[in-house]
Amino acid sequence: MQSEAMLDGMDRVATEDGLRERGKAKRRAAITHAAFELFAAQGYDATTIAEIAAAAEVSPRTVTLYFRSKQDIAFAAFDATVLQLTEMLRGRAPGESVMQALEGWLRAEMACHDENDELEMRMFEANPELRAVRTARMAAAIEEGARIIAEDTGQAPDGIAPRLAAAAAAAVVTEIFQYPEGPERDQAVGTAMTFLTAGIEAVAAGPRR
């Protein structure tokens, strides 16, 4: 049996590890928040790592330890969201359709929409070059979405129909997130899901003769 002293030591290590991880997450969040504000206010190209570090109250070296480049900072939230969505669709419950899972995820995301999400939207609005990169990165997400839809509908993974459905879903998600918060946005989600579900059903039915 493990001694009480050993158990106490393990508890202390676990506590220290937890505090360390929370500290890292807090610094990372401070860096992205500061960067989003600066990119939105003065532009992506005009903003330096030193300015981001000063606004986040960390050293420039700390910024570069957490992020390899300014672009990595700009797309930290976007990449995390795409990864979360992809993992959610891959791990959805048996019998749950892609559209059911997507709607649940979308409503949950909107419920926890916060200031950082607003800052991210302002950043993209103010920087066309970042929007262009976002479009390019979205292509990879659409590719993965097409594979998932193809599996769900029994279509060929390289077929045009799943790709069209995935592209439509990506466009709808982007549009919904940019829609002003309120009852109309909730209604818009329902409308969007009806539209996408019809598209998925058409994909599953195969091409028209």
Of 68, 83, 118, the residue that ends a domain is 68
For residue 27, the number of C-alpha atoms closer than 13 Å in the C-beta half-sphere is 19
109 with 168: CB under 8 angstroms?
no
- The predicted structure's pLDDT at residue 32: 96
For residues 94 and 156, state if they share a domain.
Answer: yes
Separation CA 157–CA 155 (nearest Å) = 6
Structure confidence at residue 174 (pLDDT): 84
Domain-terminating residue out of 48, 68, 88 = 68
pLDDT digit of tens for each residue in the chain (209 aa)? 456 655 555 555 556 567 778 888 999 999 999 999 999 999 999 999 999 999 999 999 999 999 999 999 999 999 998 899 889 988 888 888 888 888 888 888 888 878 888 899 999 999 999 999 998 888 888 888 899 888 888 888 788 888 888 898 888 888 888 777 777 877 888 888 888 888 777 766 666 55
Best CA proximity match to 144, nearest among 71, 75, 83, 81: 83
Clarify whether residues 189 and 123 are in a common domain.
Answer: yes
Domain count, the chain: 2
Range of the domain at 132: 75-205
Identity at 173, one-letter amino acid code: V
3-state secondary structure of 105: helix
Q: Are residues 49 and 81 in the same domain?
A: no
